[in-house]
Structure 1
Amino acid sequence: MAISDRIMQSIQDGRIFSAIKDRFVAIPHVFATSSLSGEYLMEQAGIKADLSNTNIRPLVKYRLNTGYLEYEKTEVKFIQEYLPPELDVIDLGAGIGFTACVADRKLNQGRDVIAIEANPKLESSIKYNAGLNGSSVKVISAGYSPSVGTIEISDKDSYRSNSVYENTSDEVEVETTSLVEITNEFSIDSFSLISDIEGSEAELIQEIELIKSKCHTIIIEIHEEKNSAVKETISRLENEGFRLIDSEERVRVFQNQAL
Structure 2
Amino acid sequence: MASNYLTATPRVKIKVARVLTRPTMGHIVSVATRNRIRNHGLLFDVSDPEFTPQVRAEMFWRTYESAEIRMIRRHLQDARTVVELGSSLGITTAHIASVLGTGGRLVCLEANPHLVDGLRRRAIRYRHDIALEVENAAVTERTGPVPFQLAASAQCSRVADNDNGLSGGEITVPSTTLREILARHRIDDFDLVSDIEGGEASYLLGDPGSLEGCRRAVIELHETSFGGKVVAPTDLIDAARMAGLRVVERHGPVVALVRG
3-state DSSP of counterpart to 1:189: coil
1:112 and 2:105 are equivalent in the alignment:
yes
Cα 1:247/1:239, change in 2 over 3 Å: same
1:87 and 2:80 are equivalent in the alignment:
yes
Say whether the 8 Å CA contact 1:225–1:231 is kept in structure 2: no
Say whether the 8 Å CA contact 1:202–1:229 is kept in structure 2: no
What amino acid sits opposite 1:55 in the alignment?
Answer: E
Unaligned runs of 5+ in 1: 1-31
How far the C-alpha of 1:134 sits from its partner, in A, is: 3.2
Distance 2:56 2:79 in 1: 34
Larger Rg: 1
Deviations 1:169-225 (A, max 9, x none): 4101101122222222222110011011012221122221120x2111111112328
3-state DSSP of counterpart to 1:111: strand
Aligned to 2:174: 175
Alignment of 1:42-81 (within 5 A): 42-64=37-59, 67-81=60-74
3-state DSSP of counterpart to 1:110: strand
Aligned to 1:249: 252
Structure 2 residue aligned with 1:147, among 142, 154, 158?
142
Distance 2:140 2:161 in 1: 16
What amino acid sits opposite 2:67 in the alignment?
Answer: T
3-state DSSP of counterpart to 1:147: coil
How far the C-alpha of 1:109 sits from its partner, in A, is: 1.4
Aligned residues: 222
Moved more, 182-191 or 166-175: 166-175
Deviations 1:123-165 (A, max 9, x none): 1111221243235432111111232212111122210111114
Give TM-score, length-normalised by structure 2.
0.76
Distance 2:143 2:113 in 1: 18
Say whether the 8 Å CA contact 1:144–1:178 is kept in structure 2: yes
Distance 1:207 1:87 in 2: 24
What amino acid sits opposite 2:47 in the alignment?
Answer: S
Distance 2:95 2:188 in 1: 22
Distance 1:240 1:56 in 2: 36
What amino acid sits opposite 1:155 in the alignment?
Answer: L
Say whether the 8 Å CA contact 2:38–2:44 is kept in structure 1: yes
Aligned to 1:4: none
More strand by share: 2
Distance 1:244 1:63 in 2: 27
3-state DSSP of counterpart to 2:104: coil
What amino acid sits opposite 2:63 in the alignment?
Answer: E
How far the C-alpha of 1:244 sits from its partner, in A, is: 1.0
Say whether the 8 Å CA contact 1:94–1:100 is kept in structure 2: yes
Distance 1:111 1:77 in 2: 20
What amino acid sits opposite 2:207 in the alignment?
Answer: E
Unaligned runs of 5+ in 2: 1-27
3-state DSSP of counterpart to 1:175: strand
Aligned to 2:116: 123
Distance 1:88 1:75 in 2: 18
3-state DSSP of counterpart to 1:199: coil
Aligned to 1:22: none
Deviations 1:66-107 (A, max 9, x none): x33432211111112111524300010101111122112212
What amino acid sits opposite 1:181 in the alignment?
Answer: E
